[in-house]
Every structure is written in C-alpha cells, then in structure tokens.
Amino acid sequence: MFTIITGAQFGDEGKGKIVDMMASQYDIVARFQGGDNAGHTVVAEGKTYKLHLIPSGVLFDARLLIGPGTVMNPGILMEEIAMLSDNGVEVSPSKLGIDAKTSIIMPYHVALDGLREQKRAVKIGTTNRGIGFAYVDKVGREEIQMADIADKSRFMRKIEEIAPQKEAAIKEMGGEPKIARSEIDAYLEIGKKLKPYITDVSKEINKALKDGRKVLAEGAQGTHLDIIHGTQKFVTSSSTIAGSACAGLGVGPTKVNEVIGVIKAYITRVGEGPLPTEQKNEVGEHLREKGGEFGTTTGRPRRCGWFDMPLARKAINLNGYTSMALTKLDVLSGLKSIKLCLGYELEGKNIDYMPELSDDVSRCKPIYIDIPGWREDITDTESFVDLPENARLYVELLEELMGADIGYISVGPGRKQTFMK
C-alpha cells in the first residue's frame, strides 16, 4: 500500500498533523522533496514538536526515510535528532534512513540564498535555508551528496572541485568568499555520525511494498509552490505535487494506491506571490490570530484569505487526489458570514480555474458567495453530524464544488481533534 500526502494550497495546510495521525497505520514514512524550509508541527500528548527534516511519523514505530529528492542540511538534522532525544524519542539508524544520494545543503548555499534574495528587485520571500541554491547544484550536476560527507577523501575532492566557483559567485554578490570552504570539519564530523543511517531508499520502499507493507510519502510545502506548475517565480525549488513522490523516492507510478490532499478551510501563504482571496483586514486578522498563522520555520505572519476554489480545482488536477483532509475548520468559528471564492473575473471574463501565469493570477478579482457562519466552538466535536448545521453545509458545499471527497476533518491541532467524514 503506497499513499502520498501533499498540500493542496501554499503549504502549512497541516500535513504534519495529518501524517502524525495516519503514521500508526504505516510501516514507513518518507520525505521526498524540499528540505528544512518545511516546518511540520505535530502536537501530541501536550507536547508540540516542530519538525523540518524528520518525517512526521517519528512519534510512532514506523521506519523513517529521507529520499534522494530532498535537500538536507546535516546540522539542522542533528539539532532535530537532539531535540527529539531530549523529549525521549530516539532516532537511531534502525529508525531513520537517509539516501546515499540526498543532496547536502552547504554553508555556501545558505549564503548565496541570502545574498541573491537581498539583491532581487522583486523578492520571493525565501526561508533563507539555501534550498534554491542546493537544487541549482543538483540540476547543475555539482551537488554534494550524503555519501560524500561520510567519506573524507570524496568530500575533499568535491570541495576542491566546487569551491573555486562558489568563492567567485559569493564574491560577485558581495559576500565573504571564505564561506565556500567553511565548516568542512563540522560536516565531516556529522558525516561520520550519519554514516550508519545511509540507505538506498528506493530499494527499501520497493521491497516493503512487495512484502505487503504500508508506505506513506509525506509532502512538504504545497501544490502552488511547485517549481514546474506553481505561481513562478514565487515558488520553492522542488516539485511539491504527488507525482514528485514517485520521482523523489524511486517508486513507479503503478505502485500508488492513494493520494490525499491536505487543504485548509481557508487559505494562507507565507512569502511573496499572488493570493487572490487575501484579506488585509479584520477577517485576515481573525484567521491569523485564531489559526496561529505564523511560519513554523521563519515565524513570519502568514497572509490569510478565503477558500479559493479555482486554486483547489487546479490542485486536484495536478495531484489526482483520491480524497482530501480538510483542516482548521475550527478557525472559522465566530465569523458571522464566510465568503467562498467560486471563480475569478479576469479581463472582463468570468473563469472558474486558476490561470497558468502568475501575472494573470495576480490580476484576478475573486467572485464570492456568502455563506452564513456559526458561532459555536467546534474544537471538541468528534463527528460530522455533531458539527453546527452551517459548518456541515460549508463542508458539503466545498466537497460538491471541488468534486472531491473529504475523508477527514480536523478541528484543532491535537491528535484527537480529527474525525472521518
């Protein structure tokens, strides 16, 4: 059984919570793209865990894998392993496997990310974690891989080959060229510690599937931040959609059984880029405050707005969702009326699907319908029938307009605050 979970909007839909909730039923949970730009929050037994690299299944017995499609900052991984250990969760090599080919984020990637963003006339709002430049090196065939930092002579050979052009690039952007050769000893030290974790992720997952075991692929960021299909240039540097799980983990598309889309009952975005239903007013404030909409990785306030159906329709096409998990329905409680964006007006025409180009998306004027809200606190609700009538109507309307089944509904950050529709 192979299940893929991705975010259907701009990230932070609550994938961490949904993966944690499902992980007890899976044998393997694997990350297939992105890096520590992701911030997955898992709330369990009164504790809050903020995870950036380690898959959100960590609190269960599942084997965890970091696939070769990801980019990994080893220092951040070590911090995360230490944080979990402090909380009584040991992440040993029998628990976590890292693919030998996983791209390593080097100090020069982080430096270049910051320097480039500073110089951009039109900013992206990156998380400043070196993600984009690590992927540039993967595509440019100049990456350093997990296996390299675990082997001194390979690592030194690669540094000698790569450092001169990194020095030149950093210098040209006004940075400190020495960064190109910094932290080498620290990387080797971590490489030694991580060596026992090295594995062949594709081989492990394919074997598990052949043996009838269950594998969950955990996406990071969200559909509209996809490097190929997203709102370029305001995107991340990896492919965030379901198909990327097959490529990133080395599993054939014929093996996929289920694709679950996590989607908020409204929408948020962190960083720059078009967000047609954004509410820069008291509604946006309500969503931000009540939903705790501040970035897990950067702490930045997230931009908030009404649910956007044209974006959801495109996400359903791009991912081929077999069902959806609707999160944060509780955050809408207390709003007198709720707007739902059915389509857009663009150049005098009405459209019901997200346009291809970011420039067009940013010119779209949302067409809303008003739906009566509900006052009741729903955070203790345990079943669909117990929701207030207007909340049920809202969920049913979303389902009908998306043309996709909502399998799970989440009404709070905790594990128990989820039920099946």
Annotated binding residues, written as ranges, equal: 11-17, 37-41, 127, 141, 221, 236, 296-302, 328-330, 410-412
Residue in this structure with the two tokens 């991912």, named with its chain if needed: 319
Among the listed residues 3, 5, 6, 11, the single contact to ligand IMP using CB under 6 A: 11
**Per-residue tokens: 207:** 């074997």
Q: Which is nearer to ligand GTP, 180 or 402 (CB)?
A: 402
Known binding-site residues for substrate equal: 296-302
Q: Is 370 a catalytic residue?
A: no
Tell me how far apart the alpha carbons of residues 352 and 340 are, in angstroms, rounded to a whole number.
12
Using CB under 6 A as the binding rule, the residues of this chain from 39 to 58 that contact ligand IMP are 39
Please pick, from the candidates 4, 5, 38, 124, the single residue that binds ligand GTP as defined by CB under 6 A: 38
Whether the bond into 416 is cis, omega within 30 of 0: no
Q: Which residues are CB-neighbours of 228 under 8 A, at least 6 positions away?
A: 239
> Considering Cα of 186, then 188, then 193, then 197, what sign does the dihedral take?
positive
Which residues make up each annotated binding site for IMP?
12-15, 37-40, 127, 141, 221, 236, 300
Tokens of 286: 């309500």
Which of 20, 27, 36, 40 is catalytic? The answer is 40
| Diameter of the chain measured on Cα atoms | 66
86: annotated active-site residue: no
Task: Tell me the per-residue interface mask from 23 to 42 with Mg ion, x by CB under 5 A, - otherwise.
Answer: ----------------x---
Give the residue, chosen from 2, 6, 12, 327, that forms a contact with ligand IMP under the rule CB under 6 A.
12
User: Which positions make up the binding site for Mg(2+)?
Assistant: 12, 39
Which contiguous run of DSSP H or E holds residue 137?
A: helix 131-139
Going by C-beta distance under 8 Å and a sequence separation of 6 or more, which residues neighbour residue 36? 52, 53, 72, 73, 76, 77, 105, 129, 297
Round to whole Å and give the CA distance between 367 and 369: 7
What is the C-alpha separation between 51 and 77, in angstroms, rounded? 9
Contact between 245 and ligand GTP by CB under 6 A: the answer reads no
Q: How many residues contact ligand GTP, by CB under 6 A?
A: 27
* Residue 417 lies near ligand IMP (rule: CB under 6 A): no
267 to 306: interface string for Mg ion, x by CB under 5 A: -----------------------------x----------
What letter represents residue 108's amino acid? Y
Measured from the CB of residue 11, what is the shortest distance to Mg ion in angstroms?
A: 6
Site string for ligand IMP, 230-269 (x = CB under 6 A): ----x-xx--------------------------------
CB of 325 to ligand GTP, least distance (A): 9
Q: Which one of ligand GTP, Mg ion, ligand IMP, none interacts with residue 330, CB within 5 to 8 A by kind?
A: ligand GTP
For residues 291 and 343, which CB has a smaller minimum distance to ligand IMP in the complex? Answer: 291
DSSP letter string, 14-77: SHHHHHHHHHTT-SEEEE-S--TT--EEEEETTEEEEESSS-GGGGSS-EEEE-TTSEE-HHHH
Cβ-Cβ contacts under 8 Å for 62 (sequence gap 6 or more): 23, 24, 26, 27, 28, 29, 55, 216
Q: How far is the CB of 268 from ligand GTP (least distance, A)?
A: 9
Rule CB under 6 A: which residues touch ligand IMP?
Answer: 11-12, 37-39, 124-127, 129, 131-132, 220-221, 225, 234, 236-237, 270-271
- Supply the residues annotated as catalytic: 12, 40
